[in-house]
Every structure is written in structure tokens, then in C-alpha cells.
Amino acid sequence: MDWWIVQLKTPESASRDNIFSRWVSVCLVSCSFCLTQCERVAAADRPTLLSRPFIRTRAKSDLPPSPSDTSKASKDVSASTVHQVSQTVPGGAKSTSSTTADTSKLARFPIKAAEAAADFNNTHLDLYVGLDSQVSPIDLPAALHLAGMNSPQVLVAQQRVIAATARQQLAAAQALPNLNVGMNYDAHTGALQRASGVILQIQRSSLYLGAGANAVAAGTVNIPGLQYNLNVGETYFAYLVSRQQSDRFRAGGAAVRNDVMLQIATAYCDLVKSQGIRAIAVQARDDAAELARIAANYAKIGQGLPADAERAATELGRREAEVFAADAAMIEASARLGQILNLESSVRLQSSEDWVIPRSIVPDPIPLPELIAISLYQRPEVAERRAEVHAAMLELQSARLLLFSPQFIAGYSAGVFGGGGDVNANATGAARFGDFGGRNDQDLVLYWSIRNLGLANKALIKTATARLAATDFERTRKLNDIRGEVAAAYARTQANAAKLDVRHRAVISSQRGYQEDLTRAKAAEGHPIEVLDSLRLRAKSQQEYLDTITLYNQAQYELYVAIGQPPADLLIHTEPVPELPAPAEAK
């Protein structure tokens, strides 16, 4: 599947090289770049693809300590069931996490930096509320691969293409004759008039068997064995129209597939974002718990106000509620992605990526006018509308030439025919029924028809003319929509790219500010309550940075689909090599 072609952008100090690698069954040109950092980011190891327990609880005695009773905050948790995991979060801060022993390796911000909650001095209740006790890791290539097999929209579009191809084959088959094989028996008893007007009392019968049927008396075989009955012009143009309709549905199927792929990419980004939001919420909750502990201790020994301890406890409660809200958001994002992929509602999906990084799919140097030109050449919607216009033009030509197109009827029959009657039997003594022998019939009819005195022909021409004008207007509207989609996606990409560096610097600054305030509070140079503002600013800056990365990636996917998913060679811009001066001739 050559759906996503991703070009990675290396750091500013490195040369701009294209790095091509192959992902699961999807031909993918990918690269990772960071617009907001000047150092290369190392890729983290992926977790195992096997499902792992998602619901994790601890004993009731491990609840977080109350600010008024800090002596309970030093309870130990059995080392046989949990272990400590040291993780790095944005800005260089480290937090110690308590997880079950079978939890897979954790990585850094913003996906799984706080996948296991800090234990508030080894005491905390960490609970995921899910639809199932198992989760299924997934990445973007796997999701795109599943879409090609499971998505109802893609499957419906494929069936429409199959039906259009069958109609094209049916239109082409109209040039072949019908084959009729059968028999007929005819018997007459009673009065019969001769051509001279004489009425005769006759008893006769006949039998025909072979290619064709309905051979009576001296007439031809009324249902020929090989039969043509068609209008030459209508049959020819109907085949040409069916070819255009087949191309139209094929292009429409590609457009539906692109839309579904974009929906999957957007939903996958939302899933990754929801996991990052939870990581930020867990980190903020853990730090709020530490502040609550410090504030409670200060209040206990008289160096702080009890009101400050209560404010810190309130902040801890708010942060705990945000963690549960983040859990619900992860479930909703998983359900949305599973709905698009036509998976069971009980399947819990979880991104196997450990990092959220900006992905530059469409290279920055390509200007907007060139992107619009590429889209008008590559978008399947343009091919769909073009085929529809061509089909309308062919229908108009067929209506105009219908008056001059003949109706062609031809038939050929071969079989055995015989019978007899009382007149011949009485005169010659022959058998009343017999005398069978071979029989061949050839028929050819050619005529021109003026339908309803020409009024029907005129109405057909007007109808086809109006249909052509409507399809041409639809094509113009689609072209305008494509231009608008490319311009909008390009604007969102540029806007979010400009914000990436600003958001990253804000994360670093907020982390430094939080660490400085926390150090002062621990050294009794300030009050713990003063750290709450720094904690909130850091969580907000991390959230904004994550939102910006997600919006940037989604805008990149939208832009790539908006320009029609062109091959890589249309997106690669190489610098022109300057011509070297000709060597001087030796004297």
C-alpha cells in the first residue's frame, strides 16, 4: 500500500537527506524531525505487540496520604508486586513510578512518561477504567492496513467499482447475438382462408426443433436461433458511456479510500494525544501529591499555614480528577478509531508509539501554487468529475445521432421441421403427420425511426445538454473545493509549524521555573503553596505543546491527502547544480 509517503526533516545542523525505511506491509517513506529542537531525538523501543493487562489496582491501605496525617505517607509496598521505574519528562525532570512487575518498558514525554503513576511515597491507587481487561497495541501502518480490509466505506466503494465493471462488460456484450434454442408445436383445426378468399375446412399440425422457435406454416422462424436486435448508435455510445462510468467509480473509490485513510490518521493522532494528555495529568498529579505532602509537613511543624495545606490538597484532588478524565478520553479515542476500523466495541486500542514528534510529510520548500497544481493533477476527485463530464458528452452525442442511427435486426435459424394435414393426406394418401427435414432461415431488417414524430428526439437532446452543463458546473465546484482544501491545510501546517518552537521553549522555561520553586520550597526559602502556579504553568505548557504537535501532524496528513497523495518524486526538490566553467585550453 503506497498510501503514506512521509519525508523526515533532520535537525538544522544536519544535511537535508531523505531517509527511506519500510514499515509493516506499507511502503512508507518516513522521517522524524523536530522544528523546536537543535538536537537529534533517539527513537524509543516499541513495547511488545502482545496484549497486556490494562486494569491495575492497589490495596485500600495504599490510598494517598491526607495533609493532616502525613505519618501514613511512609508505608512500604511489597517489592514482590511493584518495582520502581525512573522516567524522564520534558525539561529533564525525573519521577519514580510504581507499576506491576509485568508492565512493559516505559518511555518519555508525552506518551508514556507517566504511564505508571508515581506512588506518592509508595502509596497510591492507580486504576484504569476500560471496556476490557486487555489492550491491543496499534500503530498507524497497522491501522491503515486494517482499513483496507475492514472499513465498510472502503468495501462499499470496492463493490461499486465491481458493479460498474460488470455494467461495462454488459454494454460490450451487446455487440454479440443472442443464442436461442427450443421447439414449437402448432396445430390448426377449422376454417382457414386462402389468398383468393376461399374458406377451407382444414386440419393441420407442425413441429419445429432446433436453433430458434415459433416456426409456423410457411412463415419464418419468429424467434431466430442467433438474433440481433439493436440500435447501432445507441449500442456503441452506451459502451463508451459505461467505460467512463467505470473510470468514474474507480476514481470515486480511490477518493473514498483517501478520505477513510485521513479519518484513520486523524483518529490515530487523537489516540496518541489522549495518551499524552494522561501522561501529563499523571505527572502533574504526582507533583501535586509531593507539594501536598510538603505543605502538610510545614503546617504540622508550624512553618506553614493550615490553609496552604488545604489548598495543596485541593489541587491534588483536581489533578486526580484530571487523570480519570484523561482515562475516559483515551477510551473515547480508542472507540472512535475502532469504529472507523470496524472493530469490536470491546477492543481497547493503545498506540505503540513512545514519542509524539512532528512529522513533515510534505516538504516545506514547496510553495502553495505548486501544491495546488499537484492537487489538480493527482486528486482522484478530479478524475471522477472528468469521467462524469466525458460520459455526459457521449450521451449528448448519442442523442444527436439517434435520428440517423438505424435499428438493426438479424436472425439465423437451423433445425428440423415437419408436420402434415388432412387435405394433403386425403389427396395423396400421405401420413397426416411426418415428412420431417432440415430447415434454415436467414432474416435481416434495417430501418430508421423518428421517435414520437421527432419530439422524443428533441427532448433527449435537451436532457443530455442540461446534464452536461450540470456535470461541468459540478467539476468547477470540485476544483474550487480542492483549491480551498489545499490552501486551508497549508495555512494550518505553516501556523502550527511556527508555534512548535514557541511551545517547546515554553515547556523548558516552565520546567525550569517549577524546579527552582520546588528547590526553594524544600530548602525552606519559600512556601510550598508558591509552587502551585509553576506546576499549573508547566502542565498547561506541556498540554499546549502536545496540542500543537498533534494539530501539526493532522494538518500534514490533511495537506498530503488534499494534494492527492502524489509519489515521492513529485515532492522531492533538488538544488540545481551550477554549471562548471569549461577548462581552459592548454597553450
Task: Look at the chain and count its residues.
Answer: 587
Residue 360, pLDDT score: 87
Neighbours of 88 (CB within 10 A): 14
Residue 209, pLDDT score: 93
195-251 pLDDT tens trace: 788 888 888 888 999 999 998 878 889 999 999 899 999 999 999 999 999 999 999
> Do residues 110 and 280 lie in contact, with contact meaning Cβ atoms separated by under 8 Å?
yes
467-522 pLDDT tens trace: 999 999 999 999 999 999 999 999 999 999 999 999 999 999 999 999 998 888 88
Residue 133, Cα to own-chain centre: how many angstroms?
28
Task: Count CA atoms closer than 13 A to 357's CA, side-chain side.
Answer: 24
Identity of the amino acid at 378:
Q
77-99 pLDDT tens trace: 222 222 222 233 333 333 333 33
Which range is least confidently modeled, 10-14, 146-150, 174-178, 186-190?
Answer: 10-14
Question: What is the C-alpha separation between 234 and 158, in angstroms, rounded?
Answer: 28
Q: Which of 90, 144, 45 is nearest to 354 (CA)?
A: 45
346-374 pLDDT tens trace: 888 999 888 888 988 888 778 999 999 99
Question: What is the C-alpha separation between 387 and 256, in angstroms, rounded?
Answer: 16
Question: What is the C-alpha separation between 533 and 535, in angstroms, rounded?
Answer: 5
Q: Which of 348, 369, 399, 324 is nearest to 483 (CA)?
A: 369
According to DSSP, the residues that pair with 204 across neighbouring strands are 188, 421
Question: What is the C-alpha separation between 49 and 108, in angstroms, rounded?
Answer: 19
Residue 576, pLDDT score: 52
Question: What is the C-alpha separation between 393 and 405, in angstroms, rounded?
Answer: 17
Q: What is the overall mean pLDDT for the chain?
A: 76
Answer with the residue of higher pLDDT: 280 or 6.
280
* Whole-number percent of the chain with pLDDT over 70: 74
> Do residues 444 and 410 lie in contact, with contact meaning Cβ atoms separated by under 8 Å?
yes
Write out the three cell numbers for 290. 509531593
Q: Which of 294, 275, 278, 300 is nearest to 532 (CA)?
A: 294
Mean pLDDT of 423-449: 83
Residue 573, pLDDT score: 54
Write out the three cell numbers for 138. 496499534
Write out the three cell numbers for 511. 520546567
Cβ-count burial 216-235 (b if 16+ within 10 Å, e if not)? eeeeebebbbbbbebbebbb
569 pLDDT tier (thresholds 50, 70, 90): low
- Cell 449500442 -> residue: 235
Question: What is the C-alpha separation between 67 and 420, in angstroms, rounded?
Answer: 118
131-169 pLDDT tens trace: 334 788 898 889 988 888 888 999 999 999 999 999 999
> Do residues 282 and 114 lie in contact, with contact meaning Cβ atoms separated by under 8 Å?
yes
Which range is least confidently modeled, 105-114, 176-185, 386-395, 446-455?
Answer: 105-114
Pairing of strands 407-421, 199-215: antiparallel
33-67 pLDDT tens trace: 333 333 333 333 333 222 222 222 222 333 334 33
- 121 CB burial (10 A radius; 0-12, 13-18, 19+): buried
3-state secondary structure of 123: coil
Question: What is the C-alpha separation between 324 and 58, in angstroms, rounded?
Answer: 16
Question: What is the C-alpha separation between 232 and 477, in angstroms, rounded?
Answer: 36
> Quick one: residue 297, left, alpha or beta (phi over 0 = left, psi -120 to 50 = alpha)?
alpha
Mean pLDDT of 169-190: 91
- 17 CB burial (10 A radius; 0-12, 13-18, 19+): exposed
Give the largest CA-CA distance in the chain: 143
Please determine, for residue 115, whether its predicted confidence score (pLDDT) is greater than 90. Answer: no
Residue 426, pLDDT score: 75
Q: What is the 3-state secondary structure (H, E, C) of 16-61?
A: CCCCCCCECCECCECCCCCCCCCCCCCCCCCCCCCCCECCCCCCHH
585 pLDDT tier (thresholds 50, 70, 90): low
Q: What is the 3-state secondary structure (H, E, C) of 323-372?
A: HHHHHHHHHHHHHHHHHHCCCCCCCEEEECCCCCCCCCCCCCCCCHHHHH
188 phi and psi, to 5 degrees?
Answer: -135, 135
Please determine, for residue 3, whether its predicted confidence score (pLDDT) is greater than 60. Answer: no
Mean pLDDT of 525-548: 90
> Do residues 526 and 517 lie in contact, with contact meaning Cβ atoms separated by under 8 Å?
yes
Neighbours of 572 (CB within 10 A): 12
N-term to C-term CA, the chain: 61
Write out the three cell numbers for 349. 486500542
